[in-house]
Amino acid sequence: MGITAVSGPFLGFGITQSSSGLVGEYNEERGPSLFDLGAGVADPRAFFNYKPGNAVGTKVMGFFVDGPLVDYLPFTANASAIATSATVGTPTAGTALTLTPLASFGAIQTTIIAPETGLAVSVIAIDSTAAILSYGQSGTVAVWNPAAGTGRCVSVLNTSNTNTEVYIVNGRDNYGIKLTESISASTTSTGTGVGKKAFKYITSVIPATNTTISATGVSVGFVDKFGFPFRTDYFANTQAIVSSAPMVPTLAVLSSANATLASTVATATSTTPDARGTFNSTLATAGTTTTIPLGTAVRVTINQPFTATMASNVTASDQTSVFGIAQFSNF
């Protein structure tokens, strides 16, 4: 039996009112509706939504509404998981760095389907490649996988640089949308630049052509700064929990001290804040391929509601109320 898809919305009712004003129960078995395997909210973006006539198995994405959007064990923050200074050597302005992803430290070479083309592209995934959970034998209905985590902010570490150097990071967010950020490394002898945007996937890191390179080595990694899955306009309805298993979870009180709200600019650039906002964990991550199964890793959980305001502002061409402004990219 195939999928059944019809155009909503649907109304379920259990009482009626006669012309004389008498209110009566319409159905003697009136009660709560029950759905097999729960319920979810369809992803409103065209590429991820249902398309009539698609072949069986073509993914229809959504969000499971009975649990957190993020619930996973991230790898330990690592300054060279994506590229090591020994391999990169002395960088050259305008020439992409040689990336050396270390899967044992959370940087995994893989391929994903690009939303803008529907074609497979090669990327370096941070923390996990299991981006979706599929249901049924054909796997048509799918949800964004909370256990795959979310995007993390990128770090660029220079060795022995004497001037500020700018590095262009190209990649994708946790939904596979293209993303570009300019990260500046400071003028200290070992200057580290930390980005504002949350990347789930990395494609390339390129020293800007207008930068005078003085560094003798560059490493690229990620930090304990996580992207929110939905647009975050205020902190009151967003919940972030960090815990070191098997200890009692700690609810992080979100504020400007440890989190950043979604960018409010009209158009994103390579230096504007994250489109949906970020959370900076004060509890350092502690997970590797060996320690995660032993239960010693730090768990990060993020809960965000799909609100009535979000839903009321979604149109076929505008989903910024849910996902923030369009991501900036130049590749």
State the DSSP string of 39-67.
-EEE--SGGGS--TTPPTT--EEEEETTS
- Is 228 within the bounds of a domain? yes
Residue 1 has what pLDDT? 63
Q: What is the DSSP code string of 74-143? A: PPPPEEEEEE-HHHH-S--TTS-------GGGTEEEEEEE-TTTSSEEEEEEES-S--EEE-TTT--EEE
- Is 15 within the bounds of a domain? no
- Per-residue pLDDT band at 294 (split at 50, 70, 90): very low
Residue 298 has what pLDDT? 83
Q: Of the given ranges (32-41, 263-272, 317-326), which has the lowest mean pLDDT?
A: 32-41
Please state, rounded to an integer, the average pLDDT across all residues of the chain. Answer: 89
- Is 5 within the bounds of a domain? no
- Is 182 within the bounds of a domain? yes
- Is 22 within the bounds of a domain? no
Q: Of the given ranges (23-27, 77-81, 180-184), which has the lowest mean pLDDT?
A: 23-27
- The tally of CA atoms less than 13 A away on the side-chain side of residue 208 is 16
Count of structural domains, the chain: 1
Q: Which domain holds residue 247?
A: 64-323
- Is 329 within the bounds of a domain? no
- Per-residue pLDDT band at 167 (split at 50, 70, 90): very high
- Is 126 within the bounds of a domain? yes
- Is 119 within the bounds of a domain? yes
**Helix or strand holding residue 312 (H, E):** helix 308-313
**Helix or strand holding residue 320 (H, E):** helix 320-323
Q: What is the pLDDT of residues 213-272, one digit of tens each?
A: 887 888 999 999 999 999 999 999 899 988 875 556 777 889 999 999 999 999 999 999
DSSP 8-state secondary structure symbol assigned to residue 147:
G
Amino acid sitting at position 77: A
- More confidently predicted of 247 and 148: 148
Q: Kindly state the percentage of the chain with pLDDT values over 70.
A: 93
Mean pLDDT calculated for residue range 287-309: 74
Residue 188 has what pLDDT? 60
